[in-house]
């Protein structure tokens, strides 16, 4: 009886298994799935039962660099990282042989398919949207395995050197176009403003003269400047008219004087 008790105690001691908080245990009895073991000390009878631990923490899978062709026939190399965790330990062990390898292979295939369905411009400008699309596809495919895909991030997109030069030229041409358009818009606005100012000055008596005096005042602030006073052509014509008038008057007076002298003689 004593030896029997010792034997039972020995069996119990060697049957104790510890499962940590971040793990779950999958218990098999006579080779059949029995239940999922929660964290703590558990009894797993030798020979009759066996178990496997499953880490349920979030894992990061680095997807190897893949070479693929975009929708517009541009050859690129792209890699990504996937974050996932186990939400059903029983399925992760019973439904798939190696869930880590399976998720990695599924991610590579899905990434090539999704990238091949978009253009290069969409890939470069909408990386977050494409990452979400890849995540949804992988998450839906891994649900039967008890795997929850939390996030997918595209790490790097490598372009051929020729394509990099083409993109740089296209960006430079676009910047040049924008600069020319901006300059043209500025010239149009300046022309409209000058036309409006000319109309106002033309319809207001003395406005042009006041503007001329204001310009001269601005120029006179610096003594080193040579001031050129611009006289309107109308002023010159007026002076010319006045001079001709006085000349006619003088000629008329001279004729009268000559006539008087002639009469006296």
What is the pLDDT tens value at each position of the chain, 265 positions in all? 777 888 778 888 888 888 899 899 999 998 888 888 889 888 888 888 888 999 989 998 888 888 888 888 888 888 889 999 999 998 999 888 888 899 989 998 898 888 888 888 888 888 888 888 899 999 999 999 999 999 998 888 888 777 778 778 888 888 888 888 898 888 888 888 888 877 877 777 767 667 777 776 776 666 666 666 666 665 556 556 666 656 666 566 556 665 665 555 5
Q: What is the pTM of this model?
A: 0.62
Q: What CA–CA distance (Å, rounded) separates 143 from 156?
A: 27
Classify 59-159 by CATH class: alpha beta
């Amino acid at each position: 009886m004593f030896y029997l008790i010792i034997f039972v105690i020995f069996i119990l001691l060697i049957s104790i298994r510890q499962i940590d908080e971040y793990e779950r245990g999958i218990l098999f009895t006579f080779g059949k799935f029995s239940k999922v073991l929660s964290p703590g000390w558990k009894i797993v009878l030798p020979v009759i039962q066996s178990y496997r631990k499953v880490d349920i923490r979030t894992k990061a899978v680095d997807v190897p660099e893949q070479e693929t062709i975009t929708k517009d026939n541009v050859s690129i190399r792209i890699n990504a990282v996937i974050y996932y965790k186990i939400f059903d330990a029983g399925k992760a062990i019973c439904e798939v042989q190696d869930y880590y390898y399976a998720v990695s292979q599924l991610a590579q295939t899905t990434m090539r398919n999704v990238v091949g369905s978009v253009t290069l411009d969409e890939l470069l400008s909408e990386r977050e949207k494409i990452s979400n699309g890849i995540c949804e596809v992988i998450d839906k495919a891994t649900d039967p395995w008890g795997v929850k895909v939390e996030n997918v991030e595209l790490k790097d997109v490598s372009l051929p050197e020729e394509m990099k030069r083409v993109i740089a030229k296209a960006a430079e041409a676009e910047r040049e176009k924008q600069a020319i358009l901006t300059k043209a818009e500025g010239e149009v606005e300046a022309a409209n403003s000058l036309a409006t100012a000319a109309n106002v000055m033309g319809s207001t008596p003395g406005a042009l003269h006041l503007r001329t005096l204001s310009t001269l005042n601005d120029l006179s602030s610096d003594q080193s400047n040579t001031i050129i006073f611009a006289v309107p052509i109308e002023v010159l014509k007026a002076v010319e008219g006045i001079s001709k008038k006085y000349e006619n008057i003088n000629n008329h007076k001279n004729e009268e004087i000559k006539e008087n002298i002639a009469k006296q003689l």
